[in-house]
């Protein structure tokens, strides 16, 4: 089994496999540790949280604090001078761990991000080409690019967590728009790929991991017929999927809709993110920060 | 296909309305000249043990100075689908690995950053790389998750000014592109140059690498090509893909390996083998100019073009637009 502390870099962050720290694996390890009961915030100073896991958690937070960018977002790694989608992962951590001010600036940065297809120039271009589609706001991986399923799903989950702390019409609108984006990009088979569900007259096939992530983000007041189709696709993927990441996200996605499924087979975590996702999928839905 | 040529051109024209804003006149045509380069065409009928000797001979014959050099092999790994021809065959990659080792390279790495799937190692395993390449994980780098550095693009053709790129490829002495010979529903054909999209780190730009699409697919291909002046290519055309490539097409046996240091010339030669006019492939036009893509622009060695020509089925509207 993965020992987080053994794999932690000296700067407090985690690599995908080895090498420099990245925001994504660091945030996922901290989310997995949160699901495992590591305490954050006021509880940290005393109480039951102690030992090396707690110290690893604190060091991981310290790393994230040290690399937050002035615009409020996080870059994928320190070599990249641009805030990106990984900001949503950090914003899913407990506010008491991140701190109210840091969380506020992260959410503000996220709120300012939409896919390029949300811009007036793109909509005009499409109108000229005779495309009458709606273009609901999703989130891009990288500023200036189109919105895609994974960053949109993570943006929804981050805003859902924020909405539990305090209601906000603006954030609620972005969540609804993001869900509309996901539904518009559902594949004909009921699941999701990255977002190209139809090209040159052909239907695109869905992927396990993207289906699981989108299903997780659609928890709540989504059309039950959409969810039924998506769950059916998730079950189909689960029967054949062999990747740790895919299986974990499918289990989390189904758990988000009340269906607790054991892992169909023991998978090999290839990366730190895989290992953290397995932990999250194995955790009680009431403690999983992706599902609370 | 539901998308007609008119729709494709209409969409392109709509894009042009926006992208041409602020431009006053078309630039004067620049006539460029390229040295005549060698492109080898070698028959290879099947994925069997003879590939090891064939590829060793190909690399030797090109007289590359690889002794003591750091080599990165870049196959094309795209999808899990078993029994398809989406990915570069692992024997082609392994035979190239062995050839460079035998010729005295100090280090040979295999590296790829798939554009659709995040689980790169699982994808490599499903594509047969773990079973074919001994200690595969030790020689492999996932370019999507490698450490990166920013590189400015000198005289960009696309809208990109710079790109973050993985250290593994920035630090190598020779980048060897090992693509599958495939048709491509957005670019016409995907060969050595288009294969370079896999160098762009998903860990930074996401999956798919959408910044390249917004910057112009053909133009980004050319910019990436210019960022890596020391390249070699061996195109896996033993069994390629025709029709709706690069994923949903069907297998097409061409029985060839096409190689050379001038990768645009390699791609142009592959196009001719596939029954595609290279001058109609936008990224080749941009990279070399139409006048440098003719049949006599390169020195073809090995098999002659007409003995290996195997027209690939092209979907509409490409059939009308790029067929030879």
B105 domain residue, yes or no: yes
B300 strand-pairing partners: B39
Q: What is the pLDDT of residues B200-237, one digit of tens each?
A: 999 999 999 989 999 999 999 999 999 999 999 999 99
B230 domain residue, yes or no: yes
B11 domain residue, yes or no: no
Beta carbons of B10 and A130 less than 8 Å apart: yes
Q: How many CB pairs under 8 A join A and B?
A: 110
Give the one of B14, B126, B244 whose C-beta lies nearest to A202's C-beta: B244
Cα separation, B108 vs B98, whole angstroms: 9
Beta carbons of B17 and A128 less than 8 Å apart: yes
**What is the DSSP secondary structure assignment for residue A107, as one 8-state letter?**
H
The verdict on B28 touching A (C-beta cutoff 8 Å) is no
Pull the structure tokens for residue B258.
Answer: 């096409």
Beta carbons of A201 and B17 less than 8 Å apart: no
Domain CATH number, residue B274: 3.40.50
Give the one of B11, B148, B208 whose C-beta lies nearest to A80's C-beta: B148
B28 domain residue, yes or no: no
Cα separation, B37 vs B300, whole angstroms: 8
Residues of B in contact with A129 (CB under 8 A): 10-11, 13-14
Beta carbons of B119 and A145 less than 8 Å apart: no
Determine the residue of chain A that is closest to B149 in CA distance.
A79
Q: What is the pLDDT of residues B31-86, one digit of tens each?
A: 677 777 899 999 999 999 999 999 999 999 999 999 999 999 999 999 998 788 99
Instruction: Name the B residues in 104-143 with CB < 8 Å from any A CB.
Output: 116-119, 121-122, 126, 142
Structural domains in chain B (count): 1
B23 domain residue, yes or no: no
Angle between the A169-184 and A100-111 helix axes, to the nearest 10 degrees?
Answer: 50
B3 domain residue, yes or no: no
The pLDDT score that the predictor gives to residue A49 is: 54
CA A25, A30, A33, A34 torsion: positive or negative? negative
The pLDDT score that the predictor gives to residue B45 is: 96
Pull the structure tokens for residue B25.
Answer: 């006149």
Alpha-helical regions (H) of chain A: 4-7, 23-35, 52-67, 86-90, 95-98, 100-111, 120-128, 149-165, 169-184, 208-217, 224-240, 244-255, 272-282
Cα separation, A215 vs A130, whole angstroms: 31
Angle between the A208-217 and A224-240 helix axes, to the nearest 10 degrees?
Answer: 150
B16 domain residue, yes or no: no
Determine the residue of chain A that is closest to B11 in CA distance.
A129
Give the one of A142, A193, A194 whose C-beta lies nearest to B205's C-beta: A142
Nearest one of A37, A5, A3, A6 to A283, comparing CA atoms: A37
* ipTM for the whole complex: 0.93
Q: What is the pLDDT of residues A14-44, one digit of tens each?
A: 999 999 999 999 999 999 999 998 866 545 5
Mutate to test the interface with B, among A78, A113, A131, A145 (most CBs of B within 10 A): A145
Alpha-helical regions (H) of B191-317: 202-205, 210-214, 217-227, 263-274, 282-288, 305-308
Q: What is the pTM of this model?
A: 0.91
The verdict on B205 touching A (C-beta cutoff 8 Å) is yes
B269 domain residue, yes or no: yes
The pLDDT score that the predictor gives to residue A17 is: 93
Cα separation, B17 vs B29, whole angstroms: 21
Nearest one of A96, A85, A71, A113 to A22, comparing CA atoms: A85
Under a CB-based contact definition with an 8 Å cutoff, are residues A20 and B147 in contact? yes
Residues of A in contact with B145 (CB under 8 A): 16-17, 22, 271
Q: Which residue has the tokens 């690939």?
A: B312
Domain that holds residue B83: 36-322
Closest CA of chain B from A103, distance in Å: 22
Helix (H, G, I), strand (E, B) or coil at B127: coil
Pull the structure tokens for residue A57.
Answer: 């958690």
Q: Which residue has the tokens 């701190």?
A: A99
Nearest one of B110, B93, B265 to B198, comparing CA atoms: B110
């Amino acid at each position: 089994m993965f020992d987080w502390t053994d794999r932690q870099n000296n700067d407090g962050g985690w690599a995908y496999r080895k090498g420099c720290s990245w925001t994504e694996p660091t945030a996922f390890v901290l989310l997995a540790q949160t699901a495992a009961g590591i305490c954050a915030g006021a509880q940290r100073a005393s109480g039951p949280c102690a030992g090396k896991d707690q110290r690893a958690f604190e060091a991981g937070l310290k790393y994230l604090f040290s690399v937050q960018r002035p615009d409020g977002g996080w870059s994928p790694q320190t070599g990249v001078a641009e805030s990106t989608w990984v900001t949503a992962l950090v914003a899913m951590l407990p506010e008491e761990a991140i701190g109210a001010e840091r969380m506020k600036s992260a959410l503000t940065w996220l709120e300012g991000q939409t896919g390029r297809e949300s811009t007036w120039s793109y909509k005009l271009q499409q109108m000229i080409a005779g495309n009458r589609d709606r273009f609901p706001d999703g989130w891009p991986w990288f500023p200036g690019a189109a919105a895609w399923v994974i960053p949109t799903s993570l943006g929804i989950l981050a805003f859902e967590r924020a909405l539990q702390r305090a209601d906000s019409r603006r954030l609620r609108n972005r969540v609804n728009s993001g869900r509309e984006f996901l539904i518009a990009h559902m594949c004909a088979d009921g699941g999701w790929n990255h977002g190209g569900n139809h090209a040159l007259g052909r239907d695109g096939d869905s992927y396990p991991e993207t289906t699981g992530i989108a299903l997780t983000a659609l928890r709540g007041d989504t059309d039950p017929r959409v969810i039924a189709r998506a769950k059916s696709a998730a079950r189909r993927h689960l029967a054949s999927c062999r990747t740790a990441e895919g299986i974990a996200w499918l289990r989390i996605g189904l758990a988000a809709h009340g269906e607790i499924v054991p892992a169909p087979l023991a998978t090999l975590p290839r990366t730190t993110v895989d290992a953290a996702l397995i932990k999250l999928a194995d955790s009680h839905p009431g403690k999983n920060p992706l599902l609370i | 296909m539901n998308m007609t040529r008119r729709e494709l051109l209409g969409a392109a024209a709509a894009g042009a309305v926006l992208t041409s804003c602020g431009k006053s006149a078309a630039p004067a045509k620049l006539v460029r000249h390229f040295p005549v380069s060698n492109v080898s065409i070698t028959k290879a009928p099947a994925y069997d043990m003879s590939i090891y000797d064939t590829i060793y001979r190909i690399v030797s014959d090109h007289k590359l100075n690889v002794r003591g050099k750091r080599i990165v092999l870049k196959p094309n790994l795209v999808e899990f689908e078993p029994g398809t021809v989406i990915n570069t065959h692992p024997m082609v990659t392994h035979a190239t690995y062995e050839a460079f080792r035998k010729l005295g390279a100090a280090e040979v790495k295999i590296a790829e950053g798939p554009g659709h799937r995040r689980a790169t190692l699982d994808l490599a395993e499903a594509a047969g790389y773990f079973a074919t390449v001994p200690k595969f994980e030790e020689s492999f780098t996932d370019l999507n998750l490698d450490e990166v550095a920013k590189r400015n693009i000198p005289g960009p053709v696309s809208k990109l000014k710079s790109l973050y790129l993985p250290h593994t490829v920035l630090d190598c002495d020779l980048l060897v592109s090992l693509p599958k010979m495939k048709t491509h529903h957005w670019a016409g054909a995907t060969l050595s140059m288009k294969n370079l999209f896999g160098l762009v780190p998903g860990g930074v730009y996401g999956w798919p690498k959408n910044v390249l699409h917004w910057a112009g697919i053909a133009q980004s291909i050319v910019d990436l090509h210019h960022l890596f002046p020391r390249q070699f290519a061996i195109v896996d055309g033993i069994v390629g893909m025709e029709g709706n490539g690069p994923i949903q097409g069907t297998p097409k046996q061409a029985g060839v390996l096409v190689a050379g240091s001038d990768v645009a010339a390699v791609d142009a030669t592959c196009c001719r083998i596939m029954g595609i006019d290279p001058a109609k492939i936008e990224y080749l036009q941009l990279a070399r100019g139409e006048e440098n893509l003719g049949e006599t622009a390169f020195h073809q060695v090995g098999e002659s073009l007409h003995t290996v020509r195997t027209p690939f089925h092209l979907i509409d509207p490409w059939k009308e637009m790029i067929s030879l």
